[in-house]
């Protein structure tokens, strides 16, 4: 059992055949961030959308939890269905967990697809969010969820519905877990950390993401990393422009001999 995580993670699998494709969400979302991708890619892969510990239906974290602990717990979830290689998607917090998973088991990581990510996000950003949640409580989730979208998209009723849907699910340990994970994300990851990622890696970034420039810097640090931009999209590119996100993913996987095509 992973340290600081008292129980197995909740996940939803769609698709019965093919290489597992793992999806890791941002904070304060849950596995439903990937609702388009799990539906789409289940024609090609066994999609595995995980609730990171402390979110959705997964157990709450214990104080002192680290990104590496979350990575271990995610590998435990994967091991429940397959012991081979996997493709890992991660957005924001999920991208941090995804890279930690890849570093811990590089031979099993066939490819990484990262979004909502960047290099050298100031520690103060995460400390500030932890403090805001400590003072404002879970009600802050809706604001943070909505901030993940580009300003021009925030009047879209579909995106408002997504935020409403996510906040309806309340894990009793969510508040403490969100605070703990912001504290964990504040731990710095230097250039050498990313240089160890030698598997095929793609960054899909929205040009209206607040850490867009950080994504460009991160690409330079990961050997052979590719990058695709989605014009006008924010932090949650897979929700705002799933057609672009999925198209870039298929193109990338095909280039590296990993696109299994649709299953009969």
CATH at 53: 3.40.50.1820
Q: Please report whether residue 4 resides in a domain.
A: no
> 119, 217 in Cβ contact below 8 A?
yes
Domain of residue 247 covers 11-255
Give the whole-angstrom CA distance, residue 236 versus residue 174.
20
Give the whole-angstrom CA distance, residue 77 versus residue 49.
10
Give the whole-angstrom CA distance, residue 100 versus residue 175.
23
Q: Please report whether residue 51 resides in a domain.
A: yes
In a 3-state reduction of DSSP, which class is residue 247?
Answer: helix
Give the whole-angstrom CA distance, residue 20 versus residue 81.
8
Q: Please report whether residue 262 resides in a domain.
A: no
Q: Please report whether residue 2 resides in a domain.
A: no
Give the whole-angstrom CA distance, residue 119 versus residue 12.
30
Angle, CA of 2, 50 and 116, to the nearest 5°: 105
pLDDT of residue 263: 56
Tokens of 243: 């057609």
Give the whole-angstrom CA distance, residue 70 versus residue 55.
12
pLDDT of residue 82: 95
DSSP code string of 22-42: EEEPPSS--GGGGHHHHHHHT
Q: Please report whether residue 261 resides in a domain.
A: no
Instruction: With both helix axes pointing from N to C terminus, report the angle between 93-104 and 174-185 in degrees, rounded to the nearest 10.
Output: 60
pLDDT of residue 159: 95
Q: Please report whether residue 1 resides in a domain.
A: no
> 36, 242 in Cβ contact below 8 A?
yes
Q: List the chain pLDDT tens, one digit each, 264 residues.
A: 899 999 999 999 999 889 999 999 999 999 999 999 999 999 999 999 999 999 999 999 998 999 999 999 999 999 999 999 999 999 999 999 999 999 999 999 999 999 999 998 889 999 999 999 999 999 999 999 999 999 999 899 999 999 999 999 877 678 999 999 999 999 999 999 999 999 999 999 999 999 999 999 999 999 999 999 999 999 999 999 999 999 999 999 999 999 877 654
Angle, CA of 10, 16 and 17, to the nearest 5°: 120
Rg of the Cα trace of the chain?
17
pTM: 0.97
pLDDT of residue 172: 67
Tokens of 15: 């698709």
Place of tokens 């793992």: 22
Q: Please report whether residue 264 resides in a domain.
A: no
Angle, CA of 16, 9 and 240, to the nearest 5°: 70
**Domain count within the chain:** 1
Q: Please report whether residue 3 resides in a domain.
A: no
Give the whole-angstrom CA distance, residue 72 versus residue 105.
10
pLDDT of residue 66: 97
């Amino acid at each position: 059992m992973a340290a600081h995580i008292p129980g197995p993670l909740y996940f939803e699998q769609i698709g019965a055949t093919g290489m597992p494709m793992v999806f890791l969400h941002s904070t304060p979302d849950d596995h439903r961030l990937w609702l388009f991708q799990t539906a789409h890619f289940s024609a090609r892969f066994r999609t595995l959308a995980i609730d990171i510990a402390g979110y959705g239906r997964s157990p709450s974290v214990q104080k002192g939890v680290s990104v590496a602990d979350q990575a271990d717990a995610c590998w435990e979830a994967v091991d429940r269905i397959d012991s081979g290689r996997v493709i890992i998607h991660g957005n924001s917090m999920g991208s941090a967990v995804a890279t930690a998973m890849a570093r811990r088991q590089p031979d099993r990581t066939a490819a990484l697809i990262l979004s909502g990510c960047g290099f050298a996000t100031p520690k103060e950003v995460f400390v500030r969010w932890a403090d805001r949640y400590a003072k404002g409580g879970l009600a802050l989730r809706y604001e943070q969820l909505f901030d993940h979208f580009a300003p021009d998209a925030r009047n879209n009723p579909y995106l408002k519905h997504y935020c409403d849907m996510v906040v309806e699910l309340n894990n009793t340990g969510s508040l403490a877990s969100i605070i703990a994970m912001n504290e964990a994300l504040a731990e710095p990851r230097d250039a050498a950390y990313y240089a160890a990622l030698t598997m095929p890696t793609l960054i899909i970034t929205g040009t209206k993401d607040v850490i867009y420039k950080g994504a460009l810097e991160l690409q330079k640090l990961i050997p052979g990393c590719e990058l695709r931009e989605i014009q006008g999209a924010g932090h949650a590119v897979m929700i705002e422009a799933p057609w672009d996100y999925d198209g870039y993913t298929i193109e990338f996987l095909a280039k590296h001999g990993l696109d299994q095509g649709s299953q009969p």
